[in-house]
Amino acid sequence: MRVVIRVRRTHPLLSARRHIKVPKSWREREPFESSIADVRVASRERHCNNASNRVPTLRTVLTSLMKSRKWRTRNGLPGHLRTSWDAQNSVGRPMKYQGGAVPNERLRGCISAAGLTVAELAQQVGVNRKTVERWITTNRLPYREHRWKTATILGRDETYLWPELNDDPVTQRAWNAEFVQIYPNRGCVPYTTWVRLIDGATEALDILAYAGKFLFDSRPDLADVLIEKAKAGTRIRLLFGDPDFSEVRRRSEEEGLPASALSTRIDIVLNYVRKAINAPGIEVRLHDTPLYNSIFRSDTTMLVNLHTYGSGAPFNPVLHLQHVPGGRIFDHYQQSFHKVWDAAKPFGSEVSS
């Protein structure tokens, strides 16, 4: 049976009239009136003395409504009740202050800096123009997929465009998932890991180092392997230090080596890769930047050899990272590689003696 509950129109949760299905244990046939305070139903006398069959108050009815799965899903918070804090910080809800929603000026500025209009950005992301306008004017937090597309198009990290993501538990879990292993020094990295890093590359293989001579020492046929990978369609980019750069000599002295030691290792490596320089799909460049990390990236896998002052690369820790959607660390190091690559000069077929 259905019972009609009439409440005041000013009630914040219920409309002027709402139909609620009454359990079968309630066999009342008479209509009843309700108020905001409670709900009273005409019932048989034998049910009035039974606490388990008493009609609940309106507060109980509203609490049950709020706990229902349909209500939670409709309000964007499946699994727990919506609170005032959630209402301000959950996806799709604007951040507010006393004067109203705070506009997202960072997003607005990045769109303008990219030379795009709101309509053009919306078309590239795959959303309506008004949706992007709400992201800006009311600072609504977009869905994760839309955030990633927007950040990629604008060339910014999504935590810069939406700083509240730094406190998002989902984002923090993605950061932790990127870490596979940390090795106390490069010698602790298994040889098979280096082999899988190179042999497993199918899309891209990026190497940033001053020399990276250990790769060729442990695998003399590495140049031939790189040529075969390039023929199979793998894009290979190799970044080595400029042997004539003053920072290379300074790094040798910092590590307690002769000033020419690192330059000599670079020359040896350049001779190793000489046959692969002109191979299609392989690019070799020389950089003159102070190197803080050596980066070895294969598709979605990356090994980062950290550099510390006064210590050679073999004695420094190595991070094993795996790209995870929503993560930050992998992309952070990859952006560093791109900056060095853009500033480096191409290395020709003639190898310096």
The whole-number pLDDT of residue 305 equals 94
- Which range among 21-25, 239-243, 314-318, 340-344 shows the weakest confidence by mean pLDDT? 21-25
Beta strands in the chain (DSSP E): 2-6, 17-21, 96-97, 100-101, 179-183, 204-208, 235-241, 282-287, 293-298, 301-306, 318-322, 345-346
| pLDDT at residue 170 in the model | 59
pLDDT of residue 93 exceeding 60: no
- Asked whether the beta carbons of 11 and 40 are under 8 A apart, the reply is no
Burial class, 336, CB count within 10 angstroms (exposed 0-12 / middle 13-18 / buried 19+): middle
119 has pLDDT over 70: yes
High-pLDDT (> 90) share of the chain, %? 33
- Angstrom distance (rounded) from CA 95 to CA 60: 31
Surface-to-core class of residue 330, CB atoms within 10 Å of its CB (0-12 exposed, 13-18 middle, 19+ buried): buried
Rounded to 5 degrees, what angle do the CA atoms 325, 326, 328 make?
110
H or E, element range at 330: helix 329-343
CA distance 149 to 145: 6
Measured CA distances, 18 to 11, 14, 24, 139 (Å): 12, 7, 19, 34
Buried b (16+ CB within 10 A) or exposed e, 202-214: eeebbbbbbbbbb
Looking at residue 140, its pLDDT comes to: 85
Selection from 219, 162, 174, 227 nearest residue 194 by Cα: 219
Q: What is the pLDDT of residues 10-29, one digit of tens each?
A: 444 444 444 445 455 544 44
What is the structure's pLDDT at 345?
92
Q: How many Å apart are CA 330 and CA 297, to the nearest integer?
A: 9
Tokens 């070895």, residue located = 296
What pLDDT score does 100 carry?
53
Q: Which of 64-73, 113-122, 223-232, 243-252 has the lowest mean pLDDT?
A: 64-73
Q: Tokens representing 17?
A: 């009239």
Q: Which two tokens stand for residue 250?
A: 């300074």
Phi, psi of 346 (to 5 degrees): -65, 145
* Extended beta strands in 95-230, E state: 96-97, 100-101, 179-183, 204-208
What average pLDDT does range 155-167 have in this prediction? 76
Give the model's pLDDT for residue 167. Answer: 67
User: What gap in Å lies between CA 260 and CA 251, rounded to an integer?
Assistant: 10
Report residue 69: phi and psi, to 5°: -65, -40
